Amino acid sequence: MALIHDVMPAFELFQPSTIDDTLALLDRYKTSAWVLAGGLDTFDWLKDRNKRVGVVVDISGVAELKGVAASPDGGIEIGAATILSDIVRHSLVKEKYPILAQAAELVASPQIRSQGTLGGNVSQDTRCWYYRGGWSCYRAGGNACFADTPTAINREHAIFDANRCVAVNPSDTAPALVALDAKMVIRSSKGVRVVDAEKFFIGPALDITRMTVLEPGDLLTTIRIPATWAGAQFYFEKVRERQVWDFPIVNVAAVFALADGKIERSRIVVNAVAAHPVRLASVENAISGKPRNEETANLGGELAIEGAQPLAHNGYKIPLMRNLVRRAIRGATA
């Protein structure tokens, strides 16, 4: 295990004021550059010296990356550097997509929400203590997963899509954005690409060293939420060890469009059960055309956990996930 120094290494700091200047820096320094927004994930990595970078690019002064605005299609656009507390309070978010405001409000504590950004929350690295503690695991470039052993401490790890690594995605806003069919706008010196939120997050089978599609030189600039689900019925719930200042054990985000009292279409997404938010397409298909009642909820809950593979100490996540999905479909409020 690596020693924890709790002292930040030396690095060169740049504080650009425009997106173009930011991209020029990222293109110049490539893998040596680290993007800092709110800094809450960054400072943990740097002070423990588990990430060593030559250049830190602080984007907190780039005004173009902040704010919430209505888009021409009736949806909204959110700058990636918009702080979470602004999203929680914004009237447009609360009116059209309260599920995102709910998710943002459940991130950590008021102090952290006043510093952390939406882009940072969806781009943060996993919280696996072996990985973050400096153990030479697969994700860190080693040849073992220390969380996947009979004696490991793994009660918060993955029950789906493990591939050498059993770390989970810790974001609260990520499942809400996937449920809302958000689009992630990514810029680099090569141009602009727009990625569906569902494909923005990746698992270890695709790339064990990353949790998103962001590569060196990329900058997440905007999150676009289309009008598709504006005014729908929403559900978000998070289970955590402590009621504040904690990451999810399991969370669920769901949206429903009803017609004649029956589910016409839906999107249900669970997080903290895999390295990426898990969209439950089989559940969505099964409950289509059915009412939001106990019978439908039970059907969806059982389908949701099919294929789950628990580790030595996280088997409790299976009934927990099943019940959260049931509550989301049923519309439980308590």
Tens of pLDDT, residues 109-153: 999 999 999 999 999 999 999 999 999 999 999 999 999 998 999
Give percent of the chain with pLDDT exceeding 70: 97
Task: Provide φ and ψ at 323, rounded to 5°.
Answer: -75, -35
pLDDT in tens, 54-108: 999 999 999 999 999 999 999 999 999 999 999 999 999 999 999 999 999 999 9
pLDDT at 308 over 70: yes
pLDDT at 334 over 50: no
Q: What is the pLDDT of residue 244?
A: 83
Task: Provide φ and ψ at 287, rounded to 5°.
Answer: -90, -5
Q: Rounded to an integer, what is the distance from CA 320 to the centroid of its chain?
A: 19
pLDDT at 6 over 80: no
Lowest mean pLDDT among 2-6, 28-32, 136-140, 161-165: 2-6
Q: What is the pLDDT of residue 164?
A: 97
Rounded to an integer, the average pLDDT of 249-253 is 98
In this prediction, residue 50 has a pLDDT band, given cuts at 50, 70 and 90, of confident
pLDDT in tens, 176-197: 999 999 999 999 999 999 999 9
Q: What domains, with CATH codes, occur in the chain?
A: 12-61 (3.30.43.10)
pTM confidence score: 0.96
If you write DSSP's letter for every residue of 88-110 in order, what string do you get? HH-HHHHHH-HHHHHHHHTSS-H
pLDDT at 326 over 70: yes
In this prediction, residue 8 has a pLDDT band, given cuts at 50, 70 and 90, of confident
pLDDT at 272 over 50: yes
In this prediction, residue 5 has a pLDDT band, given cuts at 50, 70 and 90, of low
Count Cα atoms within 13 angstroms, Cβ side, for 204: 22
Query: CA separation (Å) from 258 to 186, 216, 280, 290?
Result: 33, 42, 18, 9
Helix (H) or strand (E) holding 252: strand 250-259
